[in-house]
Structure 1
């Protein structure tokens, strides 16, 4: 009987030892799985960092685009008289016309106190101006770029009301100044209908 008990204890001990040293789970396989999982996690972290960098670069580009877009919105249009009616001139010298009735001034490049448009950016611009006079008078207005005449309108003592209009496309550098001048000994007329006006806008930057 004692011998049988010893045999049974030996068998049970062998079984336990086998379970301890030869488990059902393959440790090497599980370690490989953990390693693969760590590699996947690291890859995801790298991709996440790359995505963050891409988003930051995209945000910077959007901000720059918005800023450039705002800078490139340049346009103005103004009539000579803010209210009422009357003539300007004649005087014995040329006179810069100051257009007080501002219809639009996007970009604030036109100064209604001086009548001067100052180019904020290098680009190609379009300008147009109109002049009006009554019968028997002479009207002559020139568009000036930094004091140099670009084009003009002229009406010499028409039998009835006279009108003139001209326009030009110019390349301007930042700081270039555009304005119109009334010739000496001539005059122009304006009223709430804004017969005499000055307009310009940026076509595209350079």
Structure 2
């Protein structure tokens, strides 16, 4: 059902583009003629019908240029794809540390658009839009597990599990939709005196562009 609908949308887009191309071809001769005709002067007044025709052709050209611009903008938005997913990597406990620290997810699983950096652990929004982010962790029970998701310097969400002597392992996670502007940064901080288990599979940070604005 989805493939049929996608095919119909594709056919509709092609028909729209074909219609515009036909209109451009139809009036290109008139537009070129308009550009070649000298502006009317007192010595050479143009025929009233010709003047009206040239005026209408000028208006039509402006409308066609506006449609072309909108189509170009729409195509650019459709081409913008931002999807990433990364894991901490390794096979060891990360933390606990005396202060909050940015958690760097070194093992890149997917990074379409190259907006996430495995060097800094930071996602930088390439375009304005609404993005969806998730963070999950696995940790032992000897220390608390506490991760904080930031947008620039603002805390947005967190996931937290206290230390427990009776619970050998903990798992936690959270997710949020964030409205971002180009250049906004999103990253995960591990709270002081907390820890997570670092592997290629358990502790992950992911996100993708939901809608461009």
TM-score range, shorter chain: 0.5 to 0.7
The match for 2:181 is 173
User: Which of these two proteins has the greater Rg computed from alpha carbons?
Assistant: 1
The offset of 1:64, in angstroms, is 4.5
1:78 aligns with: 86
- What TM-score results when the alignment is normalised by the length of structure 1? 0.68
Match of 2:125 in 1: 119
Structure 1 position 63, deviation (Å): 5.1
Secondary structure class of the residue paired with 1:68: helix
What are the ranges of 5 or more consecutive residues in structure 2 without an aligned counterpart? Answer: 1-24, 33-60
Aligned to 1:94: 100
Corresponding position of 2:78: 69
Structure 2: how far apart are the matches of 1:162 and 1:205? 36
Unmatched 5+ stretches in structure 1:
1-44
- Give the 5 Å matches for 1:118-197: 118-158=124-164, 159-192=167-200, 194-197=201-204
RMSD: 2.6
* Aligned-partner Cα distance in 2 for 1:48–1:175: 42
Would the alpha carbon gap of residues 97 and 50 (structure 1) be closer, same or farther in structure 2, given more than 3 Å must change? farther
Q: Displacement, 1:91?
A: 1.0
User: How many residue pairs were aligned?
Assistant: 157
Q: CA deviation at 1:114?
A: 0.2
